[in-house]
Structure 1
C-alpha cells in the first residue's frame, strides 16, 4: 500500500521559466513552481485577493503545467535518481515541435488554457510518457481508486484507471493547463473575463514550443519543478 507521506512525482509540460506563458500561468494560480515563490495576478478588477486565492487553491497545489504523466508515488525498489535518469534518456530520444497557441476555455466547471487546435505530436508525447514511466508508479491504494471512481467515468476510462492509474490518458487525453478550481456559473463567467484580460496583455498567445519535459515533486507542500530535461534535437 502506498505511504501517503512519501513524495509524489509527475511528468509535465512546463513553459520556459522566463516565457510570457509561464509568467501568466504562475501569476494566475498564485505560485511559481520553479522558484517556490508566491506570484500574483495584478490588478484584479472583479475579485479581492482572498477570494482569488480560494478560487485558485487547487491548481496552486500542482503548479502551472500541462500533464503528461499524472502524479504518482514511486514503486517499491525505485528511487528519484533512477527516475531522473529515465527522464533524461526519454527526452534525449525526442525532437522539439511546435503546437498551436493556447486559448482560455471552460472545462466543465473550471477554467484552463487549451490548445487552439489539436496537436498529434503532443498527444504522442503524452501517450509515450504514460507508458514509459509506468514502471516507476506505485499501485493506487484503495482510497485513491475510490476517490477517482467518484467521478463519472466511461468504461474505457475505468480501464485506463485500472491499467495506468489515471483515467484521462491515450484516447481520453486532452491537453490543458488548469487555472482555477471548480466554479459556479456566475463566478466562472467573472473569472473568465478576469483571466481573459490578463492573458490578452501577457504576450502568451504565441505558438506552444515543446522542447523539454519537466519533473515535478510534491512533499509536504505544493508540487515543485525540480528538473527540466531537454529534447535531443
Structure 2
C-alpha cells in the first residue's frame, strides 16, 4: 500500500463534482462517473493517468509506509491540529509542461508552508525509494538540488521546486490542446476561480501498484 497527502476540494465544493466528472471517477466514493465528450478525441484516454490518481493537488507525494497506517494518521492529525486554515488563491485552467492543470493565479506562502510541513513532518513514515525507482526519475536530467531532494525526500519536486497543480489531462500535442483546453475550461466554468479555503489535510491511499488512489480521510485543520 502507498499513502499520499493531497489537497482535494471539499465535498460541497462545485469543483469536486465537476472535476470528478471531467476525470471520470470520484475519489471519495470510488464511483465511476460519466465524462463529457470531446470532438474527435477520447476523453477517457486523455484523462486515464489523472483519473487513477484522482482529483487532487499533491502535497506530499505517494510513498510506501515504513511504520504503520495508525502511526502515519496520528502524526498527520497532529500536523492538522497545529495548522490554521488559510485562503487558497483562485485557480485557473493552464498549460503546465504540456499537461492541462488547475494552477494558482498567484503564489500562496501559506500553501507553500503547508506543503513543506507535510513533506518534512511526515517523512519518518516513508520507505526510501529503491535504486530502480530513483533511476526511473532520470536524475541525470535534474538539477543538483532536485537530485538532492530525490535522494533525501524521495521526490525531486519538493520545497523550492514544488508547485500546486491539479492535473486534468495527459501531455497534449498542439492540436489536442486546441480542443481540450477550451473544453475543460467551459466544463468547469467558474468553479476553479471561486473563493475557497484550505481547511483539511487529505489522506489518500493506493492498495497496490496500478490501483486507483482513494480518499481515505479528511483531517480538519484546527490550528
Q: What TM-score do you get using the length of structure 2 for normalisation?
A: 0.94
Distance 1:150 1:183, change over 3 A: farther
CA distance in 1, matches of 2:47, 2:135: 25
How well do the aligned residues superpose, as a CA RMSD in angstroms? Answer: 1.5
CA distance in 1, matches of 2:88, 2:205: 26
In the alignment, which of 58, 65, 68 is matched to residue 79 of structure 1?
Answer: 68
Paired residues, number: 221
CA distance in 2, matches of 1:22, 1:29: 11
Distance 1:57 1:151, change over 3 A: farther
8 A Cα contact 1:24 1:204, kept in partner: no
Distance 1:85 1:99, change over 3 A: same
Secondary structure class of the residue paired with 1:174: coil
CA distance in 2, matches of 1:156, 1:135: 21
Secondary structure class of the residue paired with 2:12: coil
In the alignment, which of 153, 165, 170 is matched to residue 154 of structure 2?
Answer: 165
Q: Deviations over 1:35-79 (max 9, x none)?
A: 00012333x24245xx1111101111111101110000011xx11
Within 5 Å, which residues of 2 pair with 1:103-142? 103-142=92-131
CA distance in 1, matches of 2:7, 2:201: 5
Within 5 Å, which residues of 2 pair with 1:199-218? 199-200=188-189, 203-218=191-206
Q: Structure 2: state its 5+ residue gaps.
A: none
Residue in structure 2 matched with residue 229 of structure 1 by the alignment? 219
- Runs of 4+ with deviation above 4 angstroms: none
Residue in structure 2 matched with residue 62 of structure 1 by the alignment? 53
8 A Cα contact 1:46 1:194, kept in partner: no
Q: Structure 1: state its 5+ residue gaps.
A: 1-6
Secondary structure class of the residue paired with 2:34: coil
8 A Cα contact 2:139 2:147, kept in partner: no
The Cα shift of 1:22 comes to 1.0
